Structures are given as structure tokens and as C-alpha cells.
Amino acid sequence: MRQIVQRICWNTNGWQHPSGDGRYESEGSYPHENGFGFEEWNFRTEDAFEDYVYGYMYNPPAIQKLQAQNIFDIYFWTMEPQTKQRLVVGMYKRASRAGEDEYKKLTAYFEKKGIFKRRARELEANLPDGHGTGANIQTLKKTNLLSIKCRRENVVRFSEPFPLEDLVTKSVGHRFTNYSDITKLKRKTAPTPTRSSQKSLNEDEYYRETLARRRKVIPQHNRLSNSFCTWLRKNGIASVQEKDWIDVGFKLGQRTCLAEIKICQEYGTRKAIREAMGQVLEYNYYPGRSPADLWLIVLDQTPTPSDKQYIRQVREALNLPITVAWVDGSSFTFERKLQRL
């Protein structure tokens, strides 16, 4: 089976959504000129359509060259902007070219699920000043840009990136426009990534609160909070907002409940849950607080299967009354039904 390596732009959000880091690219290229690349959603598995993740690749292998076996592995590598180190960050196992007949269905699905609109918001929130000529929803709607597909379970993002030279021994072109066919090169066995693979810690990896971000997120936070309270009211449940630092408080019968509202578009569901977890622990156990009977994290995006598994494990292993809910059209879906807790 054919195996290739392909450069993608630098990203500090795990290629779940743009982080505005394309401006650091040294050579003239789309990420350098526009501040983002279409590959910045390549590992966003929750955007899968019919269990396939559709990703961007500037110049994918020609279908006629793939012939009958339209299957290949892609290793994605990126260049750390400060050290210029080339790091392999993930791969698509057994990827394939998407067919022309799939784009219409993919476009309709992205429209229905609001994925185009969400991606446009993510670009608006993250693009550096002076960039963004290509950052408009009509450009994003060109789903034929998403020319490669991979089954969700075969999309792999390495928790610890490793140097490109540990995968291939011959020089690989640093441009975005061409891939390198590593079946033609002498290969090493890719190492099991360890912390020592990176010579220094990435100082930009973790989310940091900024005033600019707060100005962007607060209106969205308030809209989500209002929508959740409206949903509660339609279901006969009265609620209180922003009391004692709790986003939303309500009762189910005799049980007290608190909800922490989280906007995920700038840093993903996992980091939103991480932050919310610390907040609900404080609200329940900090001196002077009284624990609620139910803890709820409310997201504006669908959590991944791993996110849901994590919540279940926390609930069961630590015996904490926590669950997660997320927007589902005009309603909300719950990881576990409220009445069961």
C-alpha cells in the first residue's frame, strides 16, 4: 500500500480548528498569506460524515495513479515555528480519494449540521490582524477542497509528536503543495513517541484566557445560557442565572442542580470540559459552598466519544454526580438522562 508524508500548517489546537498560527510560516504560501489553512480541521473527528472524516490536502495522489487500489496512508508533519523542527503529528490510516459524487452529500450534511457556520466563526475568532482574504463561508463551502477521506477510527493524532527524520531518512520537501512518496525512500520504523522526542516544551500548547477572547466569547456564552434556560422553562423547570458565580442553577424535584456553560469553538470540547471540571469542583467543595445534587457541563458542540467516556469514568470512579449536555438544534442532548441521576 502506498505511504506518503504531507506537510500541514502549524496549529496549537490539535488541528481541531484554526489557531491563527499560519502567520509564522516562513515561505510564501496560503497559510502565510491568509493566516490559516484548510487542513486545520483535519483531526476534527466529530465532523465525520457517514463515519468518514473528510480532510484537506493541497495535491492528493491522482486517482489514475492509484488505479484500482484507492487506499494509502498519510503521515502529516508540521514545522515548529521557533525551532524549525519538523514533527510528525498524526496520520490517516487507509485513506482514500473522495469522489465527485460525495461532495454534494457532504455539503448538504455540513449545511444541516451548521458546520460551515461554525468553522467561519472559528476563523473569525482566531485569525491574526491583517489576514483572512480567504476566510469566508463561501470559500469554506467548497467541499471539493476536502478531497481525502478516512474512517473516523483510522484518524490518528499522536499525543507526542516525533521528528520527521525518525520516519524517513531522505530529505522531504518543505512546501505545502507537494507530498513525498515514502514508499520510494528508505524507511525506518517510526518510534513510539515519548516526551523526550521534543527537545523543549511547547509554550503555546495550552489555552490561556485573554481579554480579547473574553470579549468574543461572552456574547456566545450568554446566548447559550439563555437558550438552555429557555429549554428548561419549556420543560417546566425554573432556573436562575449567574448566582454565586454559577452559570445556571435549577431544581429537579428536591434535587439541586448546577450547570456550567462552556463555549468550545476556540479550543475544543476536551479543553472546555477540563476547565469546567475545575470550576464545578470549586463551586461544590470550596469552603463555604454546599454541594449540589447534580453537576452539569453544557457545551455548544457535540463532545467526542472519548469526552463522554471520560465523564462516565469520572462519575463512576469518583462517585461524582456529573454529566454533560450539548446543543442539538433547538434542543439539548444529554450524555445521561437527568432523571437517572
pLDDT, tens only, 49-105: 999 999 998 887 765 555 556 789 999 999 888 788 889 999 999 999 988 889 889
Kindly tell me if the per-residue pLDDT of 197 is higher than 50.
no
Counted domains in the chain: 2
Cα 219 from Cα 335, distance rounded (Å): 25
Query: Both 28 and 151 in a single domain?
Result: yes
Cα 310 from Cα 340, distance rounded (Å): 18
Region 4-32 average pLDDT: 77
Kindly tell me if the per-residue pLDDT of 216 is higher than 60.
no
Kindly tell me if the per-residue pLDDT of 200 is higher than 90.
no
Query: Both 221 and 96 in a single domain?
Result: no
Which one-letter amino acid corresponds to residue 212? A
Query: Both 264 and 331 in a single domain?
Result: yes
pLDDT given for residue 312 in this prediction? 93
Kindly tell me if the per-residue pLDDT of 292 is higher than 60.
yes
Kindly tell me if the per-residue pLDDT of 225 is higher than 80.
yes
Which one-letter amino acid corresponds to residue 261? I
Q: Decide if 79 is inside a domain.
A: yes
Q: Specify whether the CB–CB gap between 140 and 132 falls below 8 A.
A: no
Query: Both 215 and 168 in a single domain?
Result: no
Q: According to the per-residue pLDDT averaged within each range, which of 190-194, 250-254, 264-268 is highest?
A: 250-254
pLDDT given for residue 106 in this prediction? 93
Range of 7's domain?
2-190
Query: Both 147 and 51 in a single domain?
Result: yes
Region 195-199 average pLDDT: 38
**Among 13-22, 96-105, 202-211, 299-308, which stretch is predicted with the lowest mean pLDDT?**
202-211
pLDDT given for residue 193 in this prediction? 42
Kindly tell me if the per-residue pLDDT of 269 is higher than 90.
no
pLDDT given for residue 315 in this prediction? 93
Give the model's confidence band at 124: pLDDT under 50 very low, under 70 low, under 90 confident, else very high: confident
Give the model's confidence band at 319: pLDDT under 50 very low, under 70 low, under 90 confident, else very high: very high
pLDDT tens-digit map of 153-196: 999 988 788 888 888 866 777 777 677 777 554 444 454 443 33
Q: Decide if 206 is inside a domain.
A: no
Q: Decide if 202 is inside a domain.
A: no
Kindly tell me if the per-residue pLDDT of 110 is higher than 50.
yes
Kindly tell me if the per-residue pLDDT of 108 is higher than 70.
yes
**Of 7, 145, 113, 174, nearest to 134 (Cα)?**
145
Query: Both 241 and 185 in a single domain?
Result: no
Query: Both 112 and 21 in a single domain?
Result: yes
Residues for the chain: how many in total? 341
The CATH number given to whatever domain includes residue 307 is 3.40.1350
Return mean pLDDT, the chain. 80
Region 43-49 average pLDDT: 92
Q: Which residue has the higher pLDDT, 131 or 50?
A: 50
Kindly tell me if the per-residue pLDDT of 31 is higher than 80.
no
Cell of 232: 428548561
Please identify, among 190, 224, 259, the residue that sits at the C-terminal boundary of a domain.
Answer: 190
Share of the chain above pLDDT 90, in %: 38
Query: Both 153 and 223 in a single domain?
Result: no
Query: Both 331 and 219 in a single domain?
Result: yes
pLDDT given for residue 208 in this prediction? 44
Q: Which residue has the higher pLDDT, 172 or 203?
A: 172
First to last CA, the chain: 49
Share of the chain above pLDDT 70, in %: 79
Q: Which residue has the higher pLDDT, 28 or 92?
A: 92
Q: Specify whether the CB–CB gap between 5 and 188 falls below 8 A.
A: no
Kindly tell me if the per-residue pLDDT of 32 is higher than 80.
no
Query: Both 172 and 59 in a single domain?
Result: yes
pLDDT given for residue 239 in this prediction? 93
pLDDT given for residue 42 in this prediction? 95
Cell of 284: 461544590
Region 218-241 average pLDDT: 89
Give the model's confidence band at 25: pLDDT under 50 very low, under 70 low, under 90 confident, else very high: low
The neighbouring-strand residues paired with 256 are 251
Cα 186 from Cα 100, distance rounded (Å): 34
Give the model's confidence band at 237: pLDDT under 50 very low, under 70 low, under 90 confident, else very high: very high
CA diameter of the chain: 69
Q: Specify whether the CB–CB gap between 44 and 51 falls below 8 A.
A: no
